[in-house]
């Protein structure tokens, strides 16, 4: 490094699968920034993994597939209640922050790691940037909604993925100079890995052909921890499986609940249970499915970008742009509603949808430019 070169120290925190997908493009932009000999500054990037997701297929495989360097710091928090996870992360991260003294802390998404790290950094007087700010479903019974609200209230830089997210932040009286409409960083990841996704052999491995199967993901507490709701969803899926094979990459917790509630009989032979998948194989399945049923926020966005019909198994969504502009419909968790919308998808009676503004694969470029400008203005 040349003498006198300014070094910007950015500390990025990840903790769960959606975080890894959002951080991967930013990591690549930082690498490209440092390889640019014309830049008078360099970036020292510190990646902290809280360990909120500790199963290999929910964590390490994403680092491998997305070419993310192994974390510089691994906190190893593991499972626990919301309070336990949040407290453990805060206690561990505080020591890391004071030791490494970053110029800015970047958090992503809406998991417990997001809020815990934002709160710790702000109280220790480190600036915080939140990627995926402004998403709201207006249901405070959801822990993710609480994490989003509190993180956005205290962050210094708010990177919004859609125009409705910008409007939400403005309605909450957040100063406009803190808000940046940058687009959806998850789409950067999808675009950058198009070739690997196309080359995935997961369809052949599972004996599937394009558009001759549906895809199901199910993991949210409200859906899998209440026997009545879970059984209703599974009854609907079972009935739809009479018309189309349904591929179900199942979380271990969801599998455990099915056994605990005595619902194994609702898994018909036409429901193909598979272990949690890596990013590349999952996106290959998603892009080639007839339709997708999910309670995941990220999957709503990925289906919209890929033009695949999506049935969101929830009563609300924090991503209304995927309904307004995209291919998503919020169908709830009632058995007959899921059946109704599933059969519409089977008959190809579905809206075409369009790709929202700034979902163009360049979000990470915009984010990094703003981070660098902010750090330089703050004085190094």
Distance CA 26, CA 363 (A): 9
Determine the Cα–Cα distance for residues 106 and 9; give it in Å rounded to an integer.
11
Q: Three-state SS for 192?
A: helix
Catalytic residue among 219, 251, 340, 365: 219
Cβ neighbours of residue 133 closer than 8 Å, sequence gap 6 or more? 148, 151, 152, 155, 158, 159, 160, 165, 169, 179
CB atoms near residue 171 (< 10 Å): 10
* Spatial separation of the C-alpha atoms in residues 154 and 91, rounded to whole Å: 19
DSSP alpha helices (H): ranges in 176-334?
A: 185-192, 194-199, 202-206, 221-224, 227-240, 252-260, 279-288, 297-306, 321-324
Q: Does 49 qualify as catalytic in the annotation? A: no
DSSP labels for 293-336? EE--HHHHHHHHHHT--EEE-SS--S-THHHHTSSEEE--S-HH
373's tokens: 């400008």
The Cα-based distances of 96 to 63, 105, 219 in angstroms read 21, 12, 31
Distance CA 225, CA 227 (A): 6
Q: Give the residue numbers annotated as catalytic, written as ranges.
A: 219
């Amino acid at each position: 490094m040349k003498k006198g070169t300014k070094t910007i120290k950015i500390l990025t925190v990840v903790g769960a699968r959606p975080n890894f997908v959002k951080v991967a493009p930013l990591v690549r932009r930082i690498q490209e920034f440092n390889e640019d000999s014309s830049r008078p500054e360099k970036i020292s990037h510190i990646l902290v993994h809280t360990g909120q997701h500790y199963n290999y297929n929910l964590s390490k495989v994403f680092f491998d597939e997305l070419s993310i360097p192994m974390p510089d710091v691994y906190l190893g928090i593991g499972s626990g209640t919301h309070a336990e996870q949040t407290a453990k992360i805060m206690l561990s991260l505080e020591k890391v922050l004071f030791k490494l003294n970053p110029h800015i802390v970047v958090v992503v998404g809406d998991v417990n790691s997001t809020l815990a790290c934002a709160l710790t950094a702000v109280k220790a007087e480190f600036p915080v940037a939140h990627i995926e700010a402004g998403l709201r479903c207006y249901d405070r019974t959801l822990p993710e909604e609480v994490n989003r609200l509190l993180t956005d209230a205290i962050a210094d830089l708010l990177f919004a993925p859609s125009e409705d997210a910008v409007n939400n932040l403005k309605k909450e009286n957040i100063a406009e100079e803190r808000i940046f409409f940058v687009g959806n960083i998850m789409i950067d990841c999808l675009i950058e890995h198009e070739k690997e996704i196309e080359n995935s052999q997961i369809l052949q491995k599972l004996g599937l052909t394009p558009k001759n199967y549906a895809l199901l993901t199910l993991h949210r507490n409200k859906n899998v921890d209440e026997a009545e709701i879970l059984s209703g969803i599974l009854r609907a899926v079972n009935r739809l499986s009479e018309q189309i094979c349904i591929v179900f990459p199942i979380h271990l917790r969801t599998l455990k609940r099915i056994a605990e509630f005595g619902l194994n009989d609702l898994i018909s032979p036409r429901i193909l249970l598979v272990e949690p998948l890596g990013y590349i194989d999952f996106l290959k399945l998603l892009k080639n499915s007839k339709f997708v049923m999910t309670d995941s926020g990220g999957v709503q966005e990925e289906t919209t970008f890929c033009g695949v019909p999506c049935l969101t198994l929830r009563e609300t969504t924090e991503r209304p742009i995927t309904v307004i502009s995209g291919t998503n419909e919020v169908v709830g968790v009632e058995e007959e509603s899921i059946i109704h919308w599933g059969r519409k998808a089977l008959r190809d009676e579905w809206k075409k949808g369009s790709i929202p503004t700034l979902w163009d694969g360049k979000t990470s470029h915009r984010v990094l430019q703003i981070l660098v400008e902010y750090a330089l203005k703050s004085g190094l």
